[in-house]
Amino acid sequence: MKKTGILIGAILAILLAGCSNKSSNSNNSSKSSSNGYQITGNSSSDQYQNVITNGRYLTSKARGVGISQNSDNLLNLKSFENGLTQLSKTKYSPNNYIFREGQLLSSTTVEKWLSRQSKSNSLGLNPESNGQTDPNKRNPIYVQQLEEQDYMKQENGKLVLSGITIGIGMNRKDYYQKEQYGATYTTDISEAKMIAEGRQAAVKVLQRLRSSGKVANNVPIMIAMFQQASNDSLVGGSFYSYTYVKSGSTINSWQSLNTKSYILPTTANTSLPNDNDETSFESFKKQVQNFFPNLAGVTAQAEYNNKELQGMHVNITTQFYSETEITAFTQYLATAARNYLPSGIPIDITVKGSDGDIQSFLAKTAKQSTYYTHVFSSY
Amino acid sequence: MKKTGILIGAILAILLAGCSNKSSNSNNSSKSSSNGYQITGNSSSDQYQNVITNGRYLTSKARGVGISQNSDNLLNLKSFENGLTQLSKTKYSPNNYIFREGQLLSSTTVEKWLSRQSKSNSLGLNPESNGQTDPNKRNPIYVQQLEEQDYMKQENGKLVLSGITIGIGMNRKDYYQKEQYGATYTTDISEAKMIAEGRQAAVKVLQRLRSSGKVANNVPIMIAMFQQASNDSLVGGSFYSYTYVKSGSTINSWQSLNTKSYILPTTANTSLPNDNDETSFESFKKQVQNFFPNLAGVTAQAEYNNKELQGMHVNITTQFYSETEITAFTQYLATAARNYLPSGIPIDITVKGSDGDIQSFLAKTAKQSTYYTHVFSSY
């Protein structure tokens, strides 16, 4: 079953992206047989290679469902998918596994699962409507999004499904209309209720996958639980727990996760887990926002695991009057970021003009102390 | 005169950005005295450091004039300013000179010079109106834009003006209205006429600068002539000649330049100076545009010096349905670009979603064989 799980024929041409010191290796990427699979090169050792079939990316069988589920706040989709891939790396190392977009669950299946239970949909993971429209009396939608990721190994020239990750996005706030195009109301869901409903959904999903005939009993399945951010949030939601089921259909335990994202500058009602990070950011902001006679807007997203800062995305917007101003500002930012922003974490800085177009960009990895800089130019 | 040209008082704090292997050097950038000048760190050895005064960038005395002169095609401004800085590097090495935005010519001065001669404006570099409105009978506007760049040296703790570059943008097409808010007409200007008018303007600009009392006689002045691209062009214009006047007010000779920018894919009426580059681009395009079931748009700007390709800016637009698709596409591009795009030149690739937002970005310098990649993410 393991080897027959996903049969792929023909030649498997592996594209090696190579590390930055290797020289280019002619035109590997053109080696594609009529039925063949290819694998994209990985641009760094901590990224997955991906499956290409007949020169085309093998997209998810449920492609696009995530966007419709998160249409009110697409940051949830970004956080969800990035987090899911990061979590998967703890179980399926990019050195040994190849990423494949989910091929087991189709759009139709996922849409059915995410709907309410009803006479026509026994598979719904959300409760039947009780006919109420009052926020506190109605049955809310608990399970908001669901995504499958497949992790493959190469065996005898074939790609074999060797691990699965399922992400389940849960609501703390369920937005609904009493009538089409009407006002939006909100049902609040307690954390305890969200966790309980999520665990029930996870049990069902695991059993359905195992009994689908598409997954061998010994293929591990990780299920990760995500709390959706509210529609007005400037950061996406975060994963709060996961389970890793090596085989079988029983969930024995849940590991909790404590990642959370914040927006800087913080508001009166919020504060960062670590005050020093806020001070660093404020110093940086002060340093750069008066660089030009016109003020620059400086905000950031910061991600924490427990009390520890994991990374930052900094956004800067200002009005530029010349290319030389953009270049000078970017150089100045490289120095200011090094001097004021926290070290030892990945940080990127995006600089936009008043029209919203990106003008320059700076980034460092956790290990780097200086920033890579790029000014977007034109001939 | 040389030392009094631009007097700057107080402390000169130099911020060293350092190369990527040096570790961060505390908070140099906070050392700014009340009247002090600072210099931004240069993020690489081929970029100029810039002048900061009282913690603020020293903007041009004619700030914003370039934007109003080029409002119909801002690509002209980008090409003009980038080209001017590049040309300056051939005379004023970034290792020895510091860039300062033009401080000699004010907005008022530049605007007067760019206007027509008239009773109230004897300084106009463009001819008096002859009252005609017919495209072939009227006197067109020849001189469209003008910009000053200053190059400084540090001497005894002061910044001393040690070189000037003046860029002059000339029209081949002069767009005008016969009445306010009316239809736009065009007067075509021959290449010979453009060159002749440009040389006359350059003579006047040189003499005015020397006699202004603001520039020592032995401060070199480079004057670079730029041909504006038409309003509908997808690339900016290019520099066609320059003169470098070490001292005095006489122009003895002009050096011609043969840089030109192209858009790829080329149209039926245009072709690249080198067919191989077109083949490379077409192969790359074909390879990436079918990566997803939906088609990706692939275009590029290419710059040539004579028949030699100097660099490319590649733009790719496609619709993404997930973060994992963006990551996979970016990895694939890194391989495809290495295999198909020309080597030995700087290339950057910008990937945008169907909403126009940047999703990822790849770049290499002339010397690098592999691409730096960055996916724009969100927490």
Q: What is the pLDDT of residue B67?
A: 87
- Which string of DSSP letters, residue by residue, matches B102-169? --SS-HHHHHHHHSB-BTTBTT-SBPPP-S--STTTSPP--EEEEEEEEEEEEETTEEEEEEEEEEEE
Which residue among B24, B67, B343 places its CB closest to the CB of A24?
B343
The CA distance from B208 to A69, in Å, is: 66
Strand B37-39 vs strand B12-14: parallel, antiparallel, or unpaired? parallel
Q: What is the pLDDT of residue A66?
A: 86
**Residues in A touching B358 (Cβ below 8 Å):** 358
Can you list the positions of beta strands (E) in B178-237? Answer: 184-188, 221-227
Quote the ipTM score. 0.87
B17 vs A331: CB contact, 8 Å cut-off?
Answer: yes
Is the distance from CB of B61 to CB of B214 less than 8 angstroms?
no
Over residues A319-345, the pLDDT tens digits come to 999 999 999 999 999 999 999 999 999
Domain A261-375 has CATH 3.30.300.190: yes
Handedness of CA B180, B185, B191, B193 (dihedral sign): negative
Is the distance from CB of B36 to CB of B11 less than 8 angstroms?
yes
Least confidently predicted of A62-66, A326-330, B43-47, B301-305: B43-47
**To 10 degrees, what angle do helices B323-340 and B275-289 make?**
150
Residue percentage of chain B with pLDDT more than 90? 79
Which residue among A24, A64, A374 places its CB closest to the CB of B339?
A24
CA distances from A338 to A157, A245, A344, B26, B179 (A): 47, 43, 11, 8, 54
Residue among A343, A339, A281 nearest A315 (CA): A281
Is the distance from CB of A43 to CB of B328 less than 8 angstroms?
no
Q: What is the pLDDT of residue A2?
A: 37
Is the distance from CB of B97 to CB of B47 less than 8 angstroms?
no
Q: What is the pLDDT of residue B15?
A: 26
Is the distance from CB of B75 to CB of B230 less than 8 angstroms?
no
Quote the Cα angle for B266-B267-B273, to 5°: 45
- Residues with Cβ within 8 Å of B8's Cβ and at least 6 positions away in sequence, in order, are B37, B158, B159
Distance from CA of B67 to the nearest CA of A (A): 7
Q: Name the region of B193 (left: φ>0; alpha: ψ -120 to 50; beta: rest).
A: alpha
Which residue among B56, B63, B334 places its CB closest to the CB of A290?
B56
A57 vs B350: CB contact, 8 Å cut-off?
Answer: no
The CA distance from B27 to A283, in Å, is: 11
Map residue A267 onto helix, strand or coil: coil
B374 vs A348: CB contact, 8 Å cut-off?
Answer: yes
Is the distance from CB of A32 to CB of A38 less than 8 angstroms?
yes
Tokens standing for residue A295:
């003020």
Q: What is the pLDDT of residue A55?
A: 84
Tokens standing for residue A109:
């299946």
A363 vs B374: CB contact, 8 Å cut-off?
Answer: yes
A358 vs B363: CB contact, 8 Å cut-off?
Answer: no
Distance from CA of A301 to the nearest CA of B (A): 6
Q: Where in chain B is the domain with CATH 3.30.300.190?
A: 261-375
Q: What is the pLDDT of residue A29?
A: 38
**Residues in A touching B64 (Cβ below 8 Å):** 321
Which residue among B27, B99, B339 places its CB closest to the CB of A27?
B339
The CA distance from A264 to A349, in Å, is: 13
Over residues B351-372, the pLDDT tens digits come to 999 888 999 999 999 999 999 9
Q: Where in chain B is the domain with CATH 3.10.570.10?
A: 59-257
Answer with the residue of higher pLDDT: B19 or A110: A110
**Residues in A touching B57 (Cβ below 8 Å):** 291-292, 325, 328-329, 332
| C-beta neighbour count of B288 within 10 angstroms | 24
Distance from CA of A81 to the nearest CA of B (A): 6
pLDDT category, B16, cuts 50, 70, 90? very low
Q: State the average pLDDT over residues B12-32.
A: 30
Q: Report the residue of chain B nearest A365, measured CA to CA.
A: B374
Give which of A304, A324, A371 to mutate to test B binding, by max B Cβ within 10 Å. Answer: A324
Q: What pairs with residue B348 in β-bridges?
A: B313, B363
Please classify residue A215 by burial: count the beta carbons closer than 10 Å to its beta carbon, then call 0-12 exposed, 13-18 middle and 19+ buried: buried
The CA distance from B24 to A343, in Å, is: 9
Distance from CA of B75 to the nearest CA of A (A): 7
Q: Tell me, rounded to whole angstroms, the distance of Cα A99 from its chain centroid.
A: 14
Residue among B370, B226, B74, B249 nearest A42 (CA): B370
Cβ-defined contacts of A114-121 (< 8 Å, 24+): A114/A69, A114/A143, A114/A144, A114/A145, A114/A146, A116/A141
Distance from CA of A79 to the nearest CA of B (A): 5
Q: Report the residue of chain A nearest B234, measured CA to CA.
A: A379
Give which of B89, B277, B322, B343 to mutate to test A binding, by max A Cβ within 10 Å. Answer: B322
Over residues A217-228, the pLDDT tens digits come to 999 999 999 999
Which residue among B81, B291, B303 places its CB closest to the CB of A56?
B291
Residue among B350, B353, B347 nearest B371 (CA): B347
Is the distance from CB of A332 to CB of A339 less than 8 angstroms?
no
| pLDDT(B42) > 60 | yes
Q: Where in chain A is the domain with CATH 3.10.570.10?
A: 58-257
Please classify residue B270 by burial: count the beta carbons closer than 10 Å to its beta carbon, then call 0-12 exposed, 13-18 middle and 19+ buried: exposed
List the CATH code of the domain at A58-257: 3.10.570.10
A22 vs B370: CB contact, 8 Å cut-off?
Answer: yes
Which residue among B17, B57, B99 places its CB closest to the CB of A291?
B57
What radius of gyration do chain A's Cα atoms show?
A: 23
Q: Report the residue of chain B nearest A320, measured CA to CA.
A: B64
Distance from CA of A276 to the nearest CA of B (A): 16
- Residues with Cβ within 8 Å of A10's Cβ and at least 6 positions away in sequence, in order, are A33, A34, A35, A36, A37
Q: Which CATH architecture has domain B59-257?
A: Roll (3.10)
Over residues A133-188, the pLDDT tens digits come to 999 999 999 999 999 999 999 988 899 999 999 999 999 999 999 988 899 999 99
Q: What is the pLDDT along chain A (379 residues), one digit of tens a residue?
A: 333 333 232 222 222 222 222 233 333 333 333 346 888 776 567 889 999 998 899 999 999 898 888 888 999 999 999 999 999 999 999 999 999 999 999 999 999 999 999 999 999 999 999 999 999 999 999 999 999 999 999 988 899 999 999 999 999 999 999 988 899 999 999 999 999 999 999 999 999 999 999 999 999 999 999 999 999 999 999 999 999 999 999 999 999 999 999 999 998 888 899 999 999 999 999 999 989 988 899 999 999 999 999 999 999 999 999 999 999 999 999 999 999 999 999 999 999 998 889 999 999 999 999 999 999 999 9
Is the distance from CB of A347 to CB of B270 less than 8 angstroms?
no
**Residues in B touching A66 (Cβ below 8 Å):** 321-322
